[in-house]
Chain A
């Protein structure tokens, strides 16, 4: 099956917040899929990579543009 790319627009999400949105997105994704999270919370630059590392997925990139973080990850398992 072809890996899919999906964007999770979590801008302005204080609750449940970008990381919780990503965890939900991961559950719905297949192994190999790429998910890009958009976040206006600067904390995402630290807490998303922390979770990705702990659970064993792959962090592909994390960049900031005009106050919006674009964090791309791949579901590894």
Chain B
């Protein structure tokens, strides 16, 4: 069986390693072949960008060589797919190579798009790339005080990021002895301060306690950089001296160009994780159109389910379990306290009060991630 994984991010890497372990014997005998096609020789730990933006991690801590993360036996090529020919069960790469497959997994991820909001890219700081996170850090270091507005695009990657960056900015300015010179103002697209009701019930009083003001039902429409005003779809507006954006994101262009899904999101079966209408094509992580958090843990849990199922398909000809929508998100509540939210399709989260212990576990996980990508954790 020829298994082709398109994408070398968190989902693709965990899946590849999971499969290589489960199918060790089949790989050795040539019954199975696993090929990974990626756009980059580097693997980035994307959640670390949040920490780069406030100076608590350095960019070089976020990268490893992708080849070094993979189990022996996985054929890894830095040669991104440009054409998906699902009717022929083939993909064609940038170099012109054609790969036949029996099972295809698409895990190409997503990209931040600042350009969809007029004026946003020119006037806001953000942290969804290494370059922008470093630029934001420098801007924060230079900031002398004033009104800092946090604005959130829809849909966005990592639903905890808006809260986390707000709490971290509070501590950043407090630590610099200038919190009294900074007004933090948080805006959010729906009618409470977070999607998860229980998280919102915890976060709103925290904002009140820390003197962070907030405004809900605020979807950014445009940024007037000259007058430093952010306007909303709902008719509101707010002034800023420093604008911090959690931008909207989209799936990758190659997905759209190949007609696999609007805005780069591929219609995906919520339990089996196959692309709708395609029994042997599976989708992982940010690339799906599933109504769940676009977060690393989602890709991780999906990859574990899919690894078990594809291996079972090889061994007994059938999948063995459904993905239940499991997501686990840490929530940094500042620079030294954190909590978490765990939920699935049927059970909402019940976050506890933040503790130092959970924060330190998150800090440890930022290092342990590499063991997780290798499929060891």
User: Chain B, 153-194, contact with A by CB distance < 8 Å: what is the 0/1 string?
Assistant: 011000100000000000000000000000000000111000
Asked whether A43 lies within 8 Å of B197 as measured between CB atoms, the reply is yes
Q: In the complex, A23→B196 CA distance in Å?
A: 16
A21 touches B291 (CB 8 A): yes
Q: Is the CB of B349 within 8 A of A14?
A: yes
Cβ-defined contact, A14 with B348, below 8 A: yes
Q: How far is the CA of A11 from the CA of B196 in the complex (A)?
A: 14
Q: How far is the CB of B292 from chain A (nearest CB, A)?
A: 6
Residues of B within 8 A of A73 (CB): none
What's the least CB distance linking B278 to chain A, in Å? 18
Would you call A3 an interface residue if the criterion is a C-beta within 8 Å of the partner chain's C-beta atoms? no
Residue B370 CB within 8 A of the other chain: no
Structural contact, B291 and A12, CB atoms closer than 8 A: yes
- A24 interface hit (Cβ, 8 Å): yes
The reply to whether the CB of A32 lies closer than 8 angstroms to some CB of chain B is: no
Q: Is the CB of B291 within 8 A of A9?
A: yes
Chain A positions within 8 Å of B263 at CB level? 28
- Shortest B237–chain A CB gap in Å is 14
**A30 CB to nearest B CB, Å:** 12
A19 contact set on B, CB distance < 8 A:
189-191
Q: Is the CB of B191 within 8 A of A17?
A: no
Check A51–B191 contact: CB distance below 8 A: yes
Known: A16-B159, A43-B197, A47-B190. A23 touches B291 (CB 8 A): no
Are B292 and A54 neighbours in the complex by a CB distance under 8 Å? no
Residue among B191, B341, B346 making CB contact with A12, cutoff 8 Å:
B346
Whether A10 lies near B291 (C-beta < 8 A) is yes
| Contact residues in A for B235 (Cβ distance below 8 Å) | 54
Q: Is A1 an interface residue (CB 8 A)?
A: no
Task: Check A15 against B155 for contact (C-beta < 8 Å).
Answer: no
List, in ascending order, chain B residues with CB within 8 A of A14's CB.
195-196, 343, 348-349
Cα A24 to Cα B116 in complex, Å, equals: 12
Q: Does B108 contact A (CB under 8 A)?
A: no
Contact B234 A13 (CB under 8 A): no
| Given contacts A28-B263, A50-B217, A13 and B154 within 8 Å (CB-CB) | no
Contact A15 B234 (CB under 8 A): no
Distance A49 CA – B270 CA, assembled complex (angstroms): 26
With both chains docked as a complex, state the minimum distance between the C-beta of B345 and any C-beta of chain A, in angstroms: 3
Give the residues in chain B near A8, CB-CB below 8 Å.
291
Residues of B within 8 A of A20 (CB): 154-155, 189-190, 195
Chain A residue at minimal CB-CB distance from B349: A14
Is there an interface contact between B159 and A15, defined as CB atoms closer than 8 Å? yes
Please, what's the 1-or-0 string for B314-348, where 1 marks a CB less than 8 Å from any CB in chain A? 00000000000101010000000000010111101
The answer to the question of B262 belonging to the interface, with a C-beta cut-off of 8 Å to chain A, is: yes
Using A9-B291, A23-B189 as known contacts, say yes or no to A54 and B217 having CB atoms under 8 A apart.
yes
Q: How many Å lie between the Cα of A39 and that of B325 in the bound state?
A: 15
Cβ-neighbour of B219 out of A13, A15, A28, A55 (below 8 A): A55
| Residue numbers in A under 8 Å from B287 (CB-CB) | none
Q: In whole angstroms, how far apart are the Cα atoms of A50 and B192 in the complex?
A: 12
Complex interface: chain A residues within 8 A of B262 (CB):
28
Contact with B along A31-71 (1 / 0, CB 8 A): 00000000000010001001100110000000000000000
How near does chain A come to B350, taking the closest CB pair, in angstroms? 11
Residue of B nearest to A39 (CB): B291
Q: Check if A27 sits within 8 Å of B291, measured CB to CB.
A: no
- Asked if B122 is at the interface (CB within 8 A of a chain A CB), the reply is no
Q: In whole Å, how far is B342's beta carbon from the nearest beta carbon of chain A?
A: 11
| Chain A residues, Cβ within 8 Å of B329 | 15
Cα-based distance from A14 to B197 in the complex (angstroms) = 8
Contacts of B327 in A (CB 8 A): 15
Besides A9-B291, A16-B291, 10 other A-B contacts (C-beta < 8 A): A9-B270, A12-B344, A13-B292, A15-B327, A20-B154, A20-B190, A27-B248, A51-B190, A51-B234, A54-B235
Q: Which residues of B contact A (CB under 8 A)?
A: 116, 154-155, 159, 189-191, 195-197, 217, 219, 233-235, 248, 262-263, 270, 291-293, 325, 327, 329, 341, 343-346, 348-349
A-B contact pairs, 13 of them (CB 8 A): A11-B291, A12-B270, A13-B292, A15-B327, A16-B293, A17-B195, A19-B190, A19-B191, A20-B155, A24-B248, A47-B191, A54-B217, A54-B234
